[in-house]
Structure 1
Amino acid sequence: MASSLISNPVENSDRSRESKKKKKKIQNQNQNQNQKQTRWKTKFEQQIYSSKLLDALRHVHRNPSSAASSDTPLRGRAVREAADRALAVAAKGRTRWSRAILTNRLKLRFKKHKKQRVTVTGNSRSKKPGVSILRLKGKKLPALQRRVRVLGRLVPGCRELSFPVLLEEATDYIPALEMQVRAMTALAELLTSADAGSGAAC
């Protein structure tokens, strides 16, 4: 045994290098997992998102053309879109869901600029949405696959992803939404306290 160790010092050094590489790889994977778990939970990230959210909301407030001030549902939708856009910007496009939110916004902007021609014909009938083959097939899917499909629809840009990638995106998207809720509730509390203070001053 000792003679074999002495006779092959090159092989032994190669094995030790490979084991060191494997240990480093495992340590890097553990560090990445820890970073993903703590992401969106620090106060610093919440402050960054809050500042981006405030800028986006000011932009919505300044541009009444984007949402009519009299129409409350449109205004609420504009606020929600601004909050989602700020969240995607805070994610810096590292994830699919953030890129999907940002590209969706660009697509909507291009659609508004294009003029759509509508032709009216005498035989035009109101088309009822038909039942697609995919929906019929979806009813026969096992429960887990149905849930995966629902999850894919909930996470932006993740409808046609493999299950492990979808889970990775969802584990990043859910804490981001939680942080968004925290930031928006804090902002709502500040605004209500400011309104109460201005009402008391009057």
Structure 2
Amino acid sequence: MTVKTTETVRWRTEAERRIYSSKLLEALRRSSRTPSHPGKRTREVRETADRVLAVAARGRTRWSRAILAKRARLLRVRKVKKQKSSGDLRLPERERRWKLPEVEKKVKVLSRLVPGCRKVSFVNLLEEASDYIAALEMQIKVMATLSEILTATGGEVKRCRGN
């Protein structure tokens, strides 16, 4: 028997999808008003979608707080550009030879994939990863639906009176 947490179920509800899609569409409208390079535009759309997803999570998860904090850090770094130190980042010979067991390697990779989860326990990592995956699945469905709508309407989506 599998147990679903309320966070995982939350991302699967129709109401949550509608809320996310309306917030995403509004955020994309705002960001499309500023002209940018096509390659940069792709990154802007991805970052906007992630930020809106983090806002929809309301900061209840570590990954959503990490995404929102990253945005705040980027804004501060742009104001004050710091120079990186050019230290040697290679591991000492002794540490390079030491091998992690396969499961630990995979846990380490997973912890790097889920924002804000590099230094959490295994149990917390699994909980965060399951919620993050469910949120990303919902994001994919919403973006695919918006893409179909925009393609069918020629890129114009009129605002409904009810919204």
TM-score, normalized by length of structure 2?
Answer: 0.83
Whichever residue aligns with residue 188 of structure 1, its letter is: S
Matched pairs, number? 152
User: Residues 184, 111 of structure 1: CA spacing in aligned structure 2 closer, same or farther, 3 A cutoff?
Assistant: same
Alpha-carbon separation, structure 1, partners of 2:148 and 2:28: 16
Match of 1:43 among 7, 11, 14: 14
Per-residue Cα deviation, 1:130-157 (whole angstroms, up to 9, x for no partner): 43359726x6000000000000000000
Deviation at 1:113, TM superposition (A): 1.5
Identify the residue that residue 72 of structure 1 maps to in structure 2. 38
- Aligned residue for 1:164? 123
Alpha-carbon shift at residue 196 of structure 1 (Å): 8.5
Please say if 1:60 is aligned against 2:26.
no
Q: Deviation per CA, 1:165-201, whole angstroms, max 9, x where unpaired?
A: 000100100000000000000000001101199xxxx
How many percent identity over aligned positions? Answer: 49
CA-CA distance at 1:39 after TM superposition: 1.8
Q: Provide the alpha-carbon RMSD of the alignment.
A: 2.5
Unpaired runs of 5+ in structure 1? 1-29, 119-126, 198-202
Q: Which has the higher contact order (CA 8 A, sep 6+)?
A: 2
Q: Which runs of 4+ in 1 moved over 4 A?
A: 115-118, 127-130
Cα 1:196–1:89 change in 2 (3 A) is closer
Match of 2:107 in 1: 148
More helix by share: 1
**Residue 144 of structure 2 corresponds to residue 178 of structure 1:** no
Distance across 1 between alignment mates of 2:31 and 2:7: 31
Give the alignment's TM-score, normalised by structure 1.
0.68
Unaligned runs of 5+ in 2: 157-163
SS in 1 for 2:119: coil
